[in-house]
Chains A and B, each alone.
Chain A
């Protein structure tokens, strides 16, 4: 008790002020956030174009660069690496700086590493469109983009960890556990997968197993982890209450790390049977930590949800992200078996986690962070654009999730019985569901543009304030 008081006192004396912390964040965090959401817009448009080809195959026909088989991986990788991971790095830096009460180490270096990350993603997306995709889900970037990508991450990650080490607030809050775990997890899985697939080239189906292991860890631990870090920071903050049950959060955290990495291989059929069986069990078990963590958040917000929903733009995003996290985990646990194997149902998990769980949480957080780092106010300059961003992204994620899920069920029926005609039931039969998916990607692109416009307004106001000498 006394030592804690003492240490927090000594910490206070050396700790930088909030203004100093935020000033150090300004350049790298705003840059990563802005380019991240830019990639959200680009990726959503690419995915939209690809989804049209699923029911209108003559659309953009005749050019190999934009054929479905290249456009779709380009979109997914742009969304994952360009948007999700990039925004996650920005948010992590901000969380480390704020929660650790420390100014960022080497802001200029972080900014430059961020630029290189963007260049690498651009090269990777163009590489896929040019036909150099590796063919492994979520790892499609060719080696000449994957290596610079890894190098830029190494810099961002290293400086983030150095900043964390220099923190003046010694206690690590829940959010930072997730950030720390994800920051360490990501380079390991990325280097393992790239090393085994593009370097050493393990033989046979082991390649598919490694790629599935990577993709699952990226979704289940890294991106879900970043989303949880955001939730655990902003939910208590927006409802203005301390975290209700830290012990439960701790249990949930460790269980998620222990179980989460085992799922994701149930899409493989041509492998020894124990592999999909183990993964299927993990997909169910992972419900335990997810529910534990969500209960913890629920207890924190209970009773103030309706009120905060109305008053706070960030909270709305977070609430939906939390519900989607429960939804996507339940969905895989309940329907993740043989019936949905090889259907859109299973593959849509990537979209829901990247765009829904992580994407909405990140957009919510940015609606809080961006105004603070630009205008110094609490809210984005335009309420209308903030509303638009929220409703459009909500609609988008729901449309994508529902469209793919329904299409997946129909495909499951076709896979399950040789009686049903493939062309009628699995091709023309799912066109209407896929049109919903197109609408979803369109709405998401709109949400990204609304946020970017708001961002630009904030930047302009900030510049006007600084340069115009109004402040």
Chain B
């Protein structure tokens, strides 16, 4: 090859390809991403940080906390389940208590069949009314219908080679203590089918979701981090190595989920968490002997300031403005708000995993 311009043009073309794919395309896909409304509130997530927390973001950047801390919760899987909240009632619901007893013992017979369909691993018992009710003319046709349904169920079971255990727990026991988890950690289709089966009988059931993975189990967040969590950040400090724990949700971390676990002593948990973080900033080794988190003691003063904005971490150690700002910033770190592309267990709306933002798998 003797023509420099050809090599140059070829090089620039190759670069243009990777630029178009990895700079232009993400910008087109994510550039217009906006905060999402939080269900049942007038707030949005992520919220615009209050002034102090915004200053704290600058302290976080300036001290290079992201050299050791990521802010990206990972999630291995998103699974679904069905929860029964109330047995509800319909035409086939019967009361097994004596009219005079003043109590009710409702049994939704259709629901029992639906539960049996949902849980082929459990047996199902026939329903026998107490002897005093044996002559009840209202009950008889219902129970007769139920016996027929049981036979149909048995037939269907045989057809699909389902063998129910003869002893042990039965679906009849499931609905005794509510809410009951009918289906746990299943695919979205299976869970939705079960919810529909149950709700069709008049029962109240909901879809539950399970965010799974070591990060979530560690309590580092209720769900994975997604692009939307960062739309208000600039610079976006995601971090690339976890020398310390992930901080994406440090503002909502449960005390027992810290690297050095602790307990709330009072009910003013926000105040306690803030205080804990201040002590951590002043000297992490007061809280975890082996911590290698650097002490930011230079954010503290030994002279008493004229106004004391908050508690001091230790007697006669007074946080400077930047220490407050940094703690305020850490307190705004939360990955517990449910988003359409990353639901959290708190909400039970059917949520199909959005293709565009599915969890990053290896």
Contact = CB atoms under 8 A, between A and B. Distances in A.
Interface of A: 53-55, 57-58, 61-64, 67-70, 72-73, 131-137, 164-165, 170-172, 177, 180-181, 184-185, 188-189, 192, 196-197, 201-210, 213, 217, 221, 250, 254, 257-258, 261-262, 265, 267-273, 275-280, 337-339, 341-344, 346-347, 411, 415-418, 422-424, 426-428
A188 B2 contact: no
Interface string B349-362: 00000001111111
Contacts of A277: 360-361
B237 A135 contact: yes
Interface residues of B, number: 82
> Among B228, B235, B259, B357, which residue has the most Cβ atoms of chain A within 10 A?
B235
> Among B22, B33, B285, which residue has the most Cβ atoms of chain A within 10 A?
B22
A180 B291 CA distance: 48
A355 to B, nearest CB: 18
Interface string B235-267: 111111111110000000000000110000000
A269 B225 contact: yes
> Among B1, B15, B27, which residue has the most Cβ atoms of chain A within 10 A?
B15
A273 B214 contact: no
B298 A62 contact: yes
Contacts of A257: 10-11, 14-15
A9 B15 CA distance: 37
B66 interface: yes
B21 A262 contact: yes
B173 interface: no
B231 A203 contact: yes
B260 to A, nearest CB: 7
B102 interface: no
Contacts of B321: none
A185 B12 CA distance: 7
Top 3 closest pairs, chain A to chain B, by CB: A69-B64, A338-B362, A261-B18
Interface in B298-335: 298
A209 B235 CA distance: 12
Contacts of A217: 15, 18
A57 B15 contact: no
Interface string B59-97: 001111111101111100000000000000000000000
B241 A70 contact: no
16 contacts: A54-B292, A69-B65, A72-B67, A171-B2, A172-B4, A181-B7, A202-B27, A261-B15, A262-B21, A269-B74, A272-B227, A338-B74, A341-B362, A342-B241, A423-B291, A427-B291
Contacts of B61: 133-135
Main secondary structure on B side of the interface with A: loop
Contact of B7 (A172, A272, A344): A172
Contacts of A422: 218, 245, 259
Given A61-B294, A184-B11, A70 B63 contact: yes
A207 B235 contact: yes
A61 B295 contact: yes
Given A180-B8, A203-B31, A209-B22, A415 B214 contact: yes
B157 interface: no
A165 B12 CA distance: 17
Contacts of A137: 240
> Among A165, A204, A272, A416, which residue has the most Cβ atoms of chain B within 10 A?
A204
A277 B179 CA distance: 40
B4 A164 contact: yes
A280 B22 CA distance: 13
Given A204-B30, A273-B359, A275-B26, 12 more contacts: A55-B292, A61-B294, A68-B68, A132-B62, A205-B238, A206-B30, A207-B235, A261-B22, A268-B72, A339-B362, A423-B291, A427-B292
B224 A270 contact: yes
Contacts of A261: 14-15, 17-19, 22
A53 B68 CA distance: 12
Nearest to B362: A338
B237 A57 contact: no
A72 B64 contact: yes
Contacts of A132: 62
Given A180-B4, A272-B29, A69 B68 contact: yes
A418 B218 CA distance: 5
B54 interface: no
> Among A188, A196, A272, which residue has the most Cβ atoms of chain B within 10 A?
A272
Given A203-B234, A204-B230, A415 B242 contact: yes
Contacts of B64: 67-70, 72-73, 133, 135
B321 to A, nearest CB: 14
Nearest to A207: B236
> Among A170, A203, A210, A411, which residue has the most Cβ atoms of chain B within 10 A?
A203
A269 B3 CA distance: 42
A57 B70 contact: no
B14 A258 contact: yes
A271 B360 contact: yes
Contact of B291 (A57, A201, A206, A275): A57
Contact of A338 (B33, B226, B227, B361): B361
B243 to A, nearest CB: 7
Nearest to A404: B241
Contacts of A337: 362
B163 interface: no
B347 interface: no
Contacts of B243: 54, 344, 426-427
Nearest to A180: B7
B18 A209 contact: no
Interface string B208-225: 000000110110000011
B229 interface: yes
B290 interface: yes
B293 interface: yes
Nearest to B216: A418
B189 interface: no
Given A62-B298, A131-B62, A268 B23 contact: no
Nearest to A68: B294
B297 interface: yes
B127 interface: no
B233 interface: yes
A296 B27 CA distance: 39
B140 interface: no
B178 interface: no
Contact of A135 (B8, B235, B291): B235
Contacts of A70: 63-64
Contacts of B12: 184, 188
B288 interface: yes
A53 B294 contact: yes
